Copies of this chain bind each other. A is one copy, B any other.
Amino acid sequence: MRNIDAQTITPAFLQRIAGCGDPRLKQVLGALVTHLHDFAREVQLTEAEWMAGIEFLTTTGQKCSGTRQEFILLSDVLGLSMLLVAQHHDKPAGCTEATVFGPFHTDDAPHLPDGADLRGGAPGTPLDVAIEVRSLDGRALADAEVDVWEADADGFYDVQHADLDHRRARGVLRTDAEGRARFTALLPTPYPVPTDGPVGQVLVACGRHPWRPAHLHFLIRAAGHETLVTHIFREGSDYLDSDVVFGVRSSLVAEMPEVAPGRHQLRQTFVLNPVMAGATP
């Protein structure tokens, strides 16, 4: 295997992994590298562009931290995240649709009692939220875990405030016997994804805006059901038709009316997809 040229490199690579003991890895890596090579040939990628790519990937990796995942942001703005969501969450009609996970979930959100105020001092207009979690057949799902997170009125998640020493505008609740949970959150507002990193630079270079329409994130787990990762978007928000991460689904857009001066309300039912016995939840 000497004197490999721009064409023979691809079969040479595939031959090199022919002995891989993991058939799925062989399939995925073989397809990935074939597409990578095809891409480089198709656009006649230059070495300067390749080096720019190496530097971009390096900077992106080094921008990641315990509270920031720049590669997930990259996947989001390139549409890969939404592609995967669409590919794997083709649920029965009647189930709540999924959308992208995003880079700002944390595993250490405070566990809060029903009725809690999860704002924790974050700036914004209060939003009284009342949700119901149900199975596809309509029965209430008690003791479901409801993980909520959102940006504040300044457009930042708590983890984006370097000087903040506690979590806020996020929390984990449990549904009651009727599948309900209530909490006070923030009326969501549109915000830009972070543009101070390499992914933001790509958006600028492409002439793309970095904005997401107003939304709250939900991650809902209930026994015997597929975990739901989704948002609820605010009806009337800017950017509903040009979400930078391609995540808007019409069924996830909800009214959040002002029910008292300076106080808004959201009522939302989530319908989870039951997992058949023996399947992986």
Chain A residues in the interface with B (C-beta under 8 A): 1-6, 9-10, 12-13, 16-17, 19-22, 25-29, 31-33, 35-47, 49-50, 54, 57-62, 64, 69, 71-72, 75, 78-84, 86-88, 202, 205-208, 240-243, 246, 248-250
Contact = CB atoms under 8 A, between A and B. Distances in A.
Given A61-B58, A64-B61, A71-B54, A41 B83 contact: yes
A38 B40 contact: no
Contacts of A50: 75, 80-81, 84
Contacts of A6: 83, 86-87
A270 to B, nearest CB: 18
Instruction: Work out how many copies of this chain go into the complex.
Output: 2
A40 B84 contact: yes
Question: Which residue, A69, A205, A208, has most C-beta atoms of chain B within 10 A?
Answer: A205
A49 B83 CA distance: 14
A80 B40 contact: yes
A241 B17 contact: no
18 contacts: A1-B242, A1-B246, A2-B249, A3-B250, A6-B86, A9-B79, A10-B79, A13-B78, A13-B79, A16-B208, A20-B206, A20-B208, A29-B202, A31-B42, A33-B80, A36-B78, A41-B87, A62-B62
B208 A17 contact: yes
Given A20-B207, A78-B36, A208-B17, A3 B249 contact: yes
Contacts of A43: 27-28, 31-32
A26 B79 CA distance: 15
Contacts of A16: 206, 208, 242
Given A25-B205, A31-B43, A40-B80, 13 more contacts: A2-B240, A6-B83, A10-B83, A28-B49, A37-B80, A46-B88, A50-B80, A50-B84, A54-B75, A57-B61, A58-B64, A61-B62, A62-B62
